[in-house]
Structure 1
Amino acid sequence: MIGVRGSDRILTLEQYTTQYLKQAQKGDDGAREIILSEAKSFIQKTAVNFCARPLEWGLDDELSIALMAFNEAIDRYQDNRNIPFLGFARLVIKSRLSDHFRKEARHKHQPLEYQTADNSTIQLETEQAWENYLREAEARERQEEVVEFQRELSQYGISVSDLVEASPKHKDARENLIAVAKQVVDRPDLIEQLIRTKRLPIKELDQICGLHRKTLEKGRRYIIAMALLLHYKERFIYLYSYLRLTGWSCGEEGSNCG
C-alpha cells in the first residue's frame, strides 16, 4: 500500500496504474514516472521469482531489463485485452528476461524467430508472434495461479469445494463478507494473526464489525479466502481481478466494518 502524493488517501499499485496509465500512454512523462516509481517493488518481485535468486537495484542487470520491460508494457497495453495490466506487465517482464538469458547463453534463435533446416533465420510476423506468446503464457499463468491459490488455501484447511460451498449466493451477503476481509487486511495485527495462526480472528472481528458472530463463523472460509486474495493481490493478479469484476462493488473504497 502506498500513499498518494499530497493526499491522505492510500492507493495500491493497481489503482496507481488505473489512474495514470492512460496519461502515460498519451505522453505524460510525469504520469509514467509515477507508475514506474511505485511499481519498482512489483518489478523486483517478478524478476526475483523468475530468476530464482536475490536481485538488487544498481547491481543486477536483470532488474534494469525488468524495468524496461514494464515501461514497454505501459506502451503496449490495450484495454480490449482480457487481462489486467499487472498480469500483462508480468508477462512482458518474463519475456524480456527470457530473451536476455537466451542471449547470455549465446543461442542463435530469438523468441520471434525460428531456424530452417539450413540454419537460416526467418523473422516471424512480430504482432502475430507476440499475440501467440501472450495467449499461451497468459493461459499458463492463469492455471498456475489457480493451483498456487489452492495450495495457499490448503494451509488454512480450505479446499476449492469448501470455498464453493461457503460462497454467499446473494450479492449483499457476499459484499458484507468481502468488507470484513478488507478489514482484516487493513489491520496489520489481524492479517498477521490470520497468517500466523491460520485461523480467522473472529473474536476481534466481532468487536469491530457490525455483523453477528454467527455470520462471521458461517462465512469464515469465504472471509479467509478473500482476505488472502486482497493481501496477496500482486501474487494472485488474475483471481484478484476476477474478484473485483464479479463479486465486489464496495471494493477498496469502503467497508461495512468500522
Structure 2
Amino acid sequence: MDSAGDDGRENSLIDIQSMKHYAEAETARNRALEIEQFKQELAKWNISFSDLVQASPKHVKTRLVCRRIIGYLLGHEEKLRWIFQKQMLPLADMEKDLLIPRKQLERFRKYIIAVLIIKTGDYPFLQEYVRDWGCDR
C-alpha cells in the first residue's frame, strides 16, 4: 500500500473540508451583513423587526392578499418610485385598483413595505424567502 498516496487523499479531503467550512462561514457573515443592512433600511421607514412580527399576516388567506398587493406594486414602476420617494403606500390607488379595504392595506403596511424593500434591493439571501412573490426582480 502506498502511504504517500493515502496522505495525498487525506490532505485533499482536509482541503475540501476546509474550503467548505470557509465558504459556510463566509456565507454566514454575508447573511449577517445583509440582515444588518436591511435593518438599517427599515429604520429609515421607522420599522423594526418587532414591528414586522406584529404586522406579518398570520393566516394563509391574508398572506395571499399581501402577495397580491406586492405583485401589483412590483408590476407598476411608477407606484414603486412614488413609494420610495414619499416613503408611503398609495393607499387610495391600491384600494381602488385591488378592491381591498383601506383598513386591511393599513394593517399590513409595514409588512408590504419590508417585502418591497427586499424585492427591489440588494438582498440576495432575503430574496430567497420571497422569491415567488409577485414579479421577479
For the criterion TM > 0.5, the same-fold answer is: yes
In the alignment, what sits opposite 2:6? none
Alignment pair present for 1:180 and 2:73: no
In the alignment, what sits opposite 2:41? 152
Alignment pair present for 1:225 and 2:114: yes
- Give how far 1:132 is off: 1.3
Which gives a bigger RCO, structure 1 or 2 (Cα 8 Å, sep 6+)?
Answer: 2
- Give how far 1:183 is off: 1.4
Alignment pair present for 1:241 and 2:91: no
In the alignment, what sits opposite 1:127? 16
| Alignment length (residue pairs) | 125
2:70·2:116 contact (CA, 8 Å) conserved in 1?
yes
In the alignment, what sits opposite 1:46? none
TM-score normalised to the size of structure 2? 0.82
Q: Which consecutive unaligned segments of at least 5 residues does structure 1 have? A: 1-121, 254-258
Alignment pair present for 1:212 and 2:127: no
Superposed CA deviations along residues 222-248 of structure 1, whole A, max 9, x for unmatched, are 11111112222xx1111111234xxx6
Alignment pair present for 1:143 and 2:32: yes
Superposed CA deviations along residues 92-132 of structure 1, whole A, max 9, x for unmatched, are xxxxxxxxxxxxxxxxxxxxxxxxxxxxxx99943222201
SS in 2 for 1:196: helix
Question: Which one-letter code corresponds to 1:168 in the other structure?
Answer: P
Question: Which one-letter code corresponds to 2:123 in the other structure?
Answer: F
TM-score normalised to the size of structure 1? 0.45
Structure 1 stretches of at least 4 aligned residues deviating more than 2 Å after TM superposition: 122-126
Superposed CA deviations along residues 112-168 of structure 1, whole A, max 9, x for unmatched, are xxxxxxxxxx99943222201111001111111111111111111111111110001
Instruction: Map 1:1-258 onto structure 2 (within 5 A).
Output: 125-232=14-121, 235-244=122-131, 251-252=133-134
Percent identity (aligned): 29
- Give how far 1:194 is off: 0.8
How far, CA to CA, are the matches of 1:205 and 1:252 in structure 2? 15
